[in-house]
């Protein structure tokens, strides 16, 4: 077969492929190619190429260079055309070969073979010829797919539940599936080729061939069976070539149709009644398996019906969806039972269960009616909470509007707030001292928000959180090009940013000595100079500093400048630790529960005993630790009323205060006792948490602080 005939044949195959739109090509070119094809070097002559083509009976031969890379293709047609033109058999094949022949790859789908109109197709990988596909290979690939398609279609048709029969334009049966054989009680071999009118006289399928119109839902009689059939014409290129009938035996359906219609009406009526109820309703069988749930029950409980249906109440109790099971024994005598049920979403419902008895006096169904009493319980809980905490809410600070910032139940806190409010009216430097977590930053905010500077910024700088090499530029800014990596436009510092407002210097004890002198100049002269600059800038800021260290001791150890200490310590404010003002814990609990209920959209509270447990604890992390514990327990607790608290692992050993000192307190100086306690707490935290970063977080202090103190007490620490 020459190239022209091959091309014509491939065109026919391609057209057939286009018409057969459902044909699947799951096989690859490598499944049909001929491996290790004959190739010819690009230095060979036309005569060499013709001899290879003739001797091997092939339509073409790939041309490769010295590295076996394909550079062209010589086909039989090209060779014959060149002989007819020049009759020069000794000329080099590189002059006549196709330099851009169509090629394919081994992993290509075999549809490539059918859509390419060539008699020989090189298969190439990385420019190397690994195979050759001829016209016969293409035909073989096509018919392999046709066979696979036929098998797939036969499987689909014979797997259909309904009977399928097709006829041609003469009305003879062309196809019948297994379901049709079973319904008609006939074998395929006895039916194919026979007129359908002899098999199903009432089908009138041939009328569809003549009219070309579809007919749906026709009922026909076949013996003692009633069949419903859908009939459609079969068309090819706008020409009717037959018709198909799809039918199903509905004899049993017809017999119970009236009963089903009545049952459907009754079911719809019952569903309407159930769904129209404002109260929640769910239906169970005698074992407590939920069969039906109305929309009102989903609305009341917040639990979707898909989670409840086909589950027993006992299973739902095990999963935590419900708290109580159904008292089936109490329902056995046919009387209704009412219980209070708590659900996972925190709702409390009042459930009344009414048993439905069968003719033998056994429970067949149970109807459960549910009403939401959560709001009533909430009011009750709020009343109980108000009564249990009423003694802690007798004095309020509404006149200064800071109750949402700082709890002042203890006398020391009241005195503190009174002092803060007086200091807010004067523009002086304030030094706030106290342990980590006691609320130093909140006091600074109250000072600022009640001062004449409240309309300006308050900027917080944590001196321990910023690396020493960046702290100077953070405070005073820098000029363009002041150091490598500096912004080309320069940067304003905190003093310029807060001009007219307040700067809160937290953990001032961590300020490097070289910056302490610059801070002192800014405080005394109200002038700063940017890093890398020489132009003094006037600033007007109020300084509020805070520390958890004893700055006077640091001054004596020359770790803090004496003159800066006295400049900062104009008005000292000392905040007592939480263990010295435990009477504020209930108020703090109320404050934080409101805060986290609003933040996480919860409705939870702490039980009285839980508040009592909090007041027995010594709180080394102070208010910050209390806040974190309340947040953690509110998030992790499954109940709205939290009765027991998670203090963390081995709480008694970690927080036991009677082991803090190694000798009686009476034998120690105050400073030594404090240092012993500090050393033991840090050592225990590092031992338990492993790294200085985790230990610092647990104690509510910065990592540089714990590293410095560990060095002071010669405590070895692991790398962070």
The Cα–Cα gap between 97 and 570 comes to: 99
Provide the 3-class DSSP secondary structure of residue 638.
coil
Closest to 673 (Cα-Cα) out of 695, 654, 657: 657
Q: ∠ at Cα 56 (51, 57), nearest 5°? A: 100
What's the pLDDT band for 560 if we cut at 50, 70, 90? very high
Mention every residue, 6+ apart, whose C-beta is less than 8 A from residue 45: 89, 90, 91, 92, 93
Interval 568-573 mean pLDDT:
92
The Cα–Cα gap between 692 and 702 comes to: 9
Interval 14-33 mean pLDDT:
58
Per the domain annotation, does 90 fall within a domain?
Answer: yes
What's the pLDDT band for 254 if we cut at 50, 70, 90? low
Looking at the structure of the chain, the number of domains it has is: 6
Asked if the model's pLDDT at residue 472 lies above 80, the reply is yes
Closest to 394 (Cα-Cα) out of 418, 417, 419, 414: 414
In this structure, are residues 557 and 384 in contact, taking their beta carbons and an 8 Å threshold? no
The Cα–Cα gap between 161 and 22 comes to: 22
Per the domain annotation, does 384 fall within a domain?
Answer: no
Identify the bridge partners of residue 231 per DSSP, sorted by sequence position: 215, 245
Distances (CA, A) of 162 to 206, 225, 227, 596: 20, 14, 11, 61
* β-bridge pairing 163-167 and 128-134: unpaired
Asked if residue 684 and residue 593 are part of one domain, the reply reads no
> Among residues of the chain, what percentage have pLDDT more than 70?
85
What local confidence, expressed as pLDDT, does residue 670 receive?
Answer: 64
Per the domain annotation, does 196 fall within a domain?
Answer: yes
What local confidence, expressed as pLDDT, does residue 124 receive?
Answer: 92
26-30, 165-169, 292-296, 557-561, range with the lowest pLDDT = 26-30
Highest mean pLDDT among 19-33, 513-527, 704-718 belongs to 513-527
Closest to 135 (Cα-Cα) out of 234, 1, 297: 1
- By the 10 Å C-beta count (0-12 exposed, 13-18 middle, 19+ buried), 89 is classed as middle
What local confidence, expressed as pLDDT, does residue 666 receive?
Answer: 45
What local confidence, expressed as pLDDT, does residue 385 receive?
Answer: 60
Q: What are phi and psi of 322, to 5 degrees?
A: -110, 160
CA-based torsion, 78, 79, 80, 82: positive or negative: positive
Separation of CA 76 from chain center: 63
Q: Report the phi/psi class of residue 538: left, alpha or beta, with left for phi > 0 and alpha for psi in -120 to 50.
A: beta
CATH number assigned to the domain comprising residue 360: 3.30.450.20
Asked if residue 661 and residue 623 are part of one domain, the reply reads no
The Cα–Cα gap between 610 and 437 comes to: 21
Asked if residue 710 and residue 567 are part of one domain, the reply reads no
What's the pLDDT band for 655 if we cut at 50, 70, 90? very low
First to last CA, the chain: 79
CATH number assigned to the domain comprising residue 676: 1.10.10.60
Per the domain annotation, does 229 fall within a domain?
Answer: yes
Tokens 């805060």, residue located: 595
Mean residue pLDDT across the chain? 81
Q: Which domain, by its residues, includes 590?
A: 578-630
The Cα–Cα gap between 677 and 686 comes to: 14
What local confidence, expressed as pLDDT, does residue 574 receive?
Answer: 94
Please indicate, yes or no, whether the overall pTM of this predicted structure exceeds 0.85.
Answer: no
Closest to 484 (Cα-Cα) out of 440, 532, 424: 532
> Among residues of the chain, what percentage have pLDDT more than 90?
22
The more confident residue out of 327 and 246 is: 246
Asked if residue 560 and residue 470 are part of one domain, the reply reads yes
Tokens 């009219």, residue located: 211
What local confidence, expressed as pLDDT, does residue 544 receive?
Answer: 96
The more confident residue out of 537 and 20 is: 537
Highest mean pLDDT among 69-83, 386-400, 677-691 belongs to 69-83
Q: Which two tokens stand for residue 333?
A: 């005598």
Asked if residue 564 and residue 588 are part of one domain, the reply reads no
The Cα–Cα gap between 536 and 352 comes to: 81
What's the pLDDT band for 370 if we cut at 50, 70, 90? confident
What local confidence, expressed as pLDDT, does residue 258 receive?
Answer: 65
Asked if residue 301 and residue 188 are part of one domain, the reply reads no
What local confidence, expressed as pLDDT, does residue 610 receive?
Answer: 86
Per the domain annotation, does 557 fall within a domain?
Answer: yes
Asked if the model's pLDDT at residue 38 lies above 60, the reply is yes
Asked if residue 467 and residue 419 are part of one domain, the reply reads yes
Asked if residue 91 and residue 221 are part of one domain, the reply reads no
Q: What is the CA radius of gyration of the chain?
A: 46
What's the pLDDT band for 700 if we cut at 50, 70, 90? confident
What local confidence, expressed as pLDDT, does residue 408 receive?
Answer: 67
Asked if the model's pLDDT at residue 719 lies above 70, the reply is no
Give 439's Cβ-side CA count (13 Å radius).
22
Asked if the model's pLDDT at residue 660 lies above 50, the reply is no
Distances (CA, A) of 199 to 174, 181, 192, 210, 338: 13, 11, 11, 19, 66
User: pLDDT digits over 43-61, tens only?
Assistant: 899 899 889 888 888 888 9
The more confident residue out of 61 and 651 is: 61
The more confident residue out of 584 and 551 is: 551
Distances (CA, A) of 61 to 3, 53, 80, 290: 14, 7, 14, 76
The more confident residue out of 428 and 265 is: 428
- By the 10 Å C-beta count (0-12 exposed, 13-18 middle, 19+ buried), 321 is classed as middle
Query: Helix 3-19 vs helix 76-85: angle between axes, to the nearest 10 degrees?
Result: 140
Per the domain annotation, does 152 fall within a domain?
Answer: no
DSSP-derived letter for residue 467 is -
Asked if the model's pLDDT at residue 118 lies above 80, the reply is no
Interval 117-124 mean pLDDT:
82
Give 364's Cβ-side CA count (13 Å radius).
6
What's the pLDDT band for 76 if we cut at 50, 70, 90? confident
Distances (CA, A) of 220 to 163, 351, 502, 511: 14, 54, 94, 98
Of 574, 597, 619, the residue that ends a domain is 574
Tokens 């022209």, residue located: 4
What's the pLDDT band for 503 if we cut at 50, 70, 90? very high
Asked if residue 425 and residue 497 are part of one domain, the reply reads yes
Q: What are phi and psi of 145, to 5 degrees?
A: -70, -35
CB atoms within 10 A of CB 641: 15
Q: ∠ at Cα 629 (317, 448), nearest 5°? A: 135
Asked if residue 494 and residue 433 are part of one domain, the reply reads yes
The Cα–Cα gap between 241 and 209 comes to: 8
What's the pLDDT band for 26 if we cut at 50, 70, 90? low
* β-bridge pairing 337-342 and 348-357: antiparallel
What local confidence, expressed as pLDDT, does residue 557 receive?
Answer: 93
What local confidence, expressed as pLDDT, does residue 425 receive?
Answer: 87
Asked if residue 138 and residue 25 are part of one domain, the reply reads yes
Interval 286-299 mean pLDDT:
88
Asked if the model's pLDDT at residue 18 lies above 50, the reply is no
What's the pLDDT band for 720 if we cut at 50, 70, 90? very low
The Cα–Cα gap between 379 and 370 comes to: 19
The Cα–Cα gap between 447 and 503 comes to: 11
Per the domain annotation, does 389 fall within a domain?
Answer: no
Per the domain annotation, does 402 fall within a domain?
Answer: yes
Identify the bridge partners of residue 289 per DSSP, sorted by sequence position: 312
Question: In the chain, count of helices (H) and strands (E)?
Answer: 29, 25
CB atoms within 10 A of CB 454: 13
What local confidence, expressed as pLDDT, does residue 565 receive?
Answer: 94
Q: What are phi and psi of 49, to 5 degrees?
A: -65, -45
Of 315, 344, 367, the residue that ends a domain is 367
Exposure letters 497-508 (e unless 16+ CB within 10 A, then b): ebbebbbbbbbb
Asked if residue 36 and residue 184 are part of one domain, the reply reads no
């Amino acid at each position: 077969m020459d190239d022209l005939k091959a091309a014509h044949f491939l065109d026919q195959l391609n057209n057939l492929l286009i018409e057969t739109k459902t044909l699947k090509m799951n096989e690859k070119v490598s499944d049909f190619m001929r491996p290790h094809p004959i190739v010819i070097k690009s230095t060979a002559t036309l005569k060499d190429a013709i001899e290879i083509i003739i001797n091997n009976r092939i339509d073409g031969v790939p041309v490769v260079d010295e590295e076996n890379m394909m550079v062209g293709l010589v086909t039989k047609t090209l060779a014959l055309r060149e002989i007819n033109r020049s009759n020069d058999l000794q000329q080099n094949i590189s002059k006549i070969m196709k330099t851009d022949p169509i090629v394919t790859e081994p992993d290509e789908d075999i549809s490539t073979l059918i859509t390419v109109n060539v008699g020989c197709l090189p298969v190439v990988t990385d420019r190397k010829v690994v195979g050759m596909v001829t016209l016969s290979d293409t035909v073989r690939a096509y018919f392999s797919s046709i066979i696979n398609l036929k098998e797939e279609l036969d499987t689909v048709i014979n797997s259909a539940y309904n009977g399928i029969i097709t006829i041609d334009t003469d009305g003879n049966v062309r196809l019948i599936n297994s379901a049709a054989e079973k319904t008609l009680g006939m074998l395929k071999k006895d039916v194919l080729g026979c007129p359908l009118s002899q098999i199903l006289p009432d089908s009138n399928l041939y009328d569809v061939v003549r009219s070309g119109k579809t007919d749906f839902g026709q009922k026909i009689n076949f013996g003692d069976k009633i069949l419903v059939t859908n009939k459609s014409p079969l068309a090819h290129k706008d020409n009717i070539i037959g018709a198909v009938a799809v039918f199903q035996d509905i004899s049993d359906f017809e017999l119970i149709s009236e009963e089903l219609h009545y049952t459907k009406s009754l079911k719809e009526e019952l569903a309407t009644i159930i769904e129209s109820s404002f109260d929640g309703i769910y239906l169970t069988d005698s074992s407590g398996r939920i069969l039906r749930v109305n929309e009102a029950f989903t609305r009341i409980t917040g639990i979707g019906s898909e989670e409840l249906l086909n589950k027993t109440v006992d299973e739902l109790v095990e999963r935590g969806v419900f708290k109580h099971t159904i008292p089936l024994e109490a329902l056995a005598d046919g009387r209704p039972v009412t219980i209070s049920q708590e659900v996972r979403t925190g709702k409390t419902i009042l459930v009344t269960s009414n048993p439905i008895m069968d003719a033998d006096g056994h429970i067949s169904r149970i109807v459960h009616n549910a009403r939401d009493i959560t709001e009533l319980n909430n009011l009750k809980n709020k009343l109980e909470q108000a009564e249990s905490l009423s003694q802690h809410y007798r004095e309020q600070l509404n006149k200064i509007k800071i109750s949402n910032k700082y709890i002042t139940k203890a006398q020391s806190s009241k005195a503190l707030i009174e002092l803060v409010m007086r200091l807010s009216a004067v523009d002086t430097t304030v030094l706030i001292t106290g342990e980590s977590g006691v609320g130093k930053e909140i006091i600074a905010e109250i000072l600022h928000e009640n001062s004449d500077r409240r309309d300006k910024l308050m900027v917080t700088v944590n001196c321990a959180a910023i690396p020493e090499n960046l702290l100077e530029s953070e405070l005073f800014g820098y000029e363009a090009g002041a150091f490598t990596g500096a912004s080309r436009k320069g940067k304003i510092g905190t003093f310029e940013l807060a001009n007219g407002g307040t700067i809160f210097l937290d953990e001032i004890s961590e300020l490097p000595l070289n910056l302490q002198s610059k801070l002192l100049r800014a405080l005394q002269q109200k002038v700063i100079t940017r890093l890398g600059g020489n132009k003094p800038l006037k600033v007007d800021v109020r300084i509020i500093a805070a520390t958890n260290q004893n700055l006077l001791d640091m001054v004596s150890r020359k770790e803090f400048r004496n003159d800066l200490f006295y400049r900062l310590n104009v008005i000292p404010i000392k905040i007592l630790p939480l263990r010295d003002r435990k009477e504020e814990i209930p108020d703090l609990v109320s404050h934080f529960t409101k805060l986290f209920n609003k933040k996480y959209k919860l409705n939870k509270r702490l039980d009285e005993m839980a508040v009592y447990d909090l007041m027995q604890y010594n709180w080394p992390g102070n208010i910050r630790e209390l806040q974190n514990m309340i947040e953690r327990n509110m998030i992790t607790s499954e109940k709205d009323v939290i009765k027991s608290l998670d203090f963390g692992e081995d709480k008694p050993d970690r927080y036991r205060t009677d082991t803090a000192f190694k000798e009686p307190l009476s034998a120690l100086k105050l400073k030594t006792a404090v240092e012993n306690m500090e050393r033991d707490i840090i050592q225990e935290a590092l031992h338990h948490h492993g790294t200085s970063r985790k230990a610092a977080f647990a104690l509510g202090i910065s990592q540089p602080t714990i590293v410095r103190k560990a060095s002071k007490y010669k405590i070895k620490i692991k790398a962070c």
